[in-house]
């Protein structure tokens, strides 16, 4: 695996050349792909997000409800990708155990937990009336 960290004297991976914006998008996509490949929880969250989308179509939720569901899916996904970035940076900076490294990782994981819990609450608020109407 090649290093993503630029060493002294090496040229930049992104930002130079003819299409710096396209390169930036490729780098961003590579980061998302890394998070997806390496984080089991992100895979679970993607499956749950797809289940919420399927439920939204099946129940015919409103546009405002769609907005709530899509924003929750995005917020949880962003939180998980940022958590992955923080964990990777902490592992690079502090390969040995350190209390501050643990605190940084725990705080990042806590952000994912808060986003996920909030999304569950929003999901209950959105889907409960539709499900109750079916009963």
- The torsion angle over the Cα atoms of residues 116, 119, 123 and 126, rounded to 10 degrees, is 180
Does the annotation flag 66 for ligand binding? no
In whole angstroms, what separates CA 95 from the centre of its chain?
Answer: 24
Q: Provide the 3-class DSSP secondary structure of residue 19.
A: coil
Does the annotation flag 43 for ligand binding? no
Does the annotation flag 133 for ligand binding? no
Residue 34 exposed, middle or buried by CB count within 10 Å (0-12, 13-18, 19+): middle
- With tokens 């209950």, the residue in question is 124
Q: Is 80 a catalytic residue?
A: yes
Does the annotation flag 106 for ligand binding? yes
Does the annotation flag 97 for ligand binding? yes
- Residue 118 phi, psi dihedral angles, 5° rounding: -60, -40
Does the annotation flag 99 for ligand binding? no
Does the annotation flag 96 for ligand binding? yes
Q: Which of 10, 16, 80, 99 is catalytic?
A: 80
Torsion 111-112-117-119 (CA) sign: positive
Q: List, by residue number, the catalytic residues.
A: 80
Question: Which residues does the annotation place in the binding site for ATP?
Answer: 87, 96-98, 105-106
Question: Which residues does the annotation place in the binding site?
Answer: 80, 87, 96-98, 105-106
Question: Which residues does the annotation place in the binding site for substrate?
Answer: 80
Question: Which residues does the annotation place in the binding site for a divalent metal cation?
Answer: 87
């Amino acid at each position: 695996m090649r290093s993503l960290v630029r060493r002294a004297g090496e040229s930049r991976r992104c930002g130079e050349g003819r299409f710096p914006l396209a390169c930036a998008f490729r780098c961003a996509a590579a980061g998302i792909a890394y998070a997806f490949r390496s984080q089991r929880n992100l895979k679970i969250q993607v499956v749950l997000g797809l289940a919420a989308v399927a439920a939204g179509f099946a129940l015919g939720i409103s546009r405002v409800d769609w907005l709530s569901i899509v924003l929750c899916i995005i917020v949880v996904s962003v939180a998980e990708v940022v958590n992955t970035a923080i964990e990777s940076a902490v592992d690079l900076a502090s390969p040995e155990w350190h209390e501050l490294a643990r605190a940084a990782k725990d705080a990042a994981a806590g952000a994912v937990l808060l986003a996920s819990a909030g999304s569950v609450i929003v999901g209950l608020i959105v889907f409960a009336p539709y499900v109750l109407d079916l009963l």
